[in-house]
Amino acid sequence: MGVLDEPFVGSWAVAAGVVTRWELRHNFVRVFPDVYVRKGCSLDARGRACAAAHWAKGDGVLIGRSAAAMHGTRWLDADQAAEIARRGHCRPPCGIRVVRSVIEPSECCEVDGFAVTTPARTAFDLGRRLPRERAVPILDALCAATGLEPGEVAVLAAKHPGARFLNRLRTTLVVVDPGAESPPETHTRLLLIDDCLPRPATQLVIRNHYGEFVARVDLGWRKWQVAVEYDGAQHWTDPTQRTKDIDRIARIEALGWRVIRINATLLYHRPHVVLDRVRTALTTQGAQLNK
């Protein structure tokens, strides 16, 4: 990518001779005061975080969703305001949320030249501030992207005994699982857990009687040979993918597994159907479940 293909400070670019004032006005769009992007460029969560850091001109630390984005977290909403911590009072422009706070040096790191909170501190902040159903998908993805373990966040939390909403954080950390590969997979897992079903394993590998790989399923219980698969739109609209899915499910079921397939409509509008089908499958396979 070129030097001007990402957000940049306009005054610095002009002073360095990289762009003229005329070009800045005509070929670029102002995102924040003195921060520009090339016309036609759409910012994702990471790009918006970089733009906010440029606006602060080094005086601040990216936190929350912005820090998560810098660490490579997927599935973040690009339209959410960028988040940054600064020492003093200031009035941020629309699209930037400023928290007046000082982050300890041990809880900061550098990513691509920008100051951001460490993965553990990022999870610590998000897990306290967001409701569990919103925090868990982000923390799942953050842990997957960085290798962060929930236990590391708990250790950091112990160093901040007076912080607000620690109970919310603890409730969130208990159900975090980096194995989730999309927010709907996380929501499916939470649905099952909240119905007091045994906690399923994520990305469960199924092998045949010779130990050969057969498939990997989104969620499941090896003990009872029950799998739960979340199918996105491509699983139903792409004929090639549809054929692969039919063959794959047949191979899994031939080994004695029960497979419950769900989509967005079932998950978000008819969750009781999902739970009934999972409970029936588990019971049929020998699980003793609480009523």
Q: What is the 3-state secondary structure (H, E, C) of 25-86?
A: HHHEEEEECCEEEECCCCCCHHHHHHHHHHHHCCCCEECHHHHHHHCCCCCCCCCCCEEEEE
At 243 the pLDDT is 83
Predicted pLDDT of residue 5: 83
What structural domains does the chain harbor?
Answer: 43-173 (no CATH), 183-284 (3.40.960.10)
Chain centre distance of CA 28: 30
Query: The tokens of 172 are what?
Result: 């969130």
A 10 A CB-CB count for 69 gives 29
Note the pLDDT of residue 4.
82
Q: Which two tokens stand for residue 48?
A: 């918006």
pTM for the whole thing? Answer: 0.92
Contact 171, 208 (CB under 8 A): no
Distance from first CA to last CA of the chain, Å, rounded?
57
pLDDT in tens, the chain (291 residues): 456 889 999 999 999 999 999 999 999 999 999 999 999 999 999 999 999 999 999 899 999 999 999 999 999 999 999 999 998 878 999 999 999 998 999 999 999 999 999 999 999 999 999 999 999 999 999 999 999 999 999 999 999 999 999 999 999 999 999 999 999 999 999 999 999 999 999 999 999 999 999 999 999 999 999 999 998 756 556 677 778 888 999 999 999 999 999 999 999 999 999 999 999 999 999 999 986
Neighbouring residues of 36: CB distance < 8 A, sequence distance ≥ 6 = 7, 8, 9, 10, 13, 24, 28, 29, 30
- Alpha helix positions (H), the chain: 10-15, 21-27, 45-56, 64-70, 119-129, 132-146, 150-158, 166-173, 183-194, 234-237, 239-254, 264-269, 271-284
- Does an H or E element contain 90, and which? none
Is the CB of residue 27 less than 8 Å from the CB of residue 3? no
The predicted structure's pLDDT at residue 1: 46
pLDDT given at position 70: 98
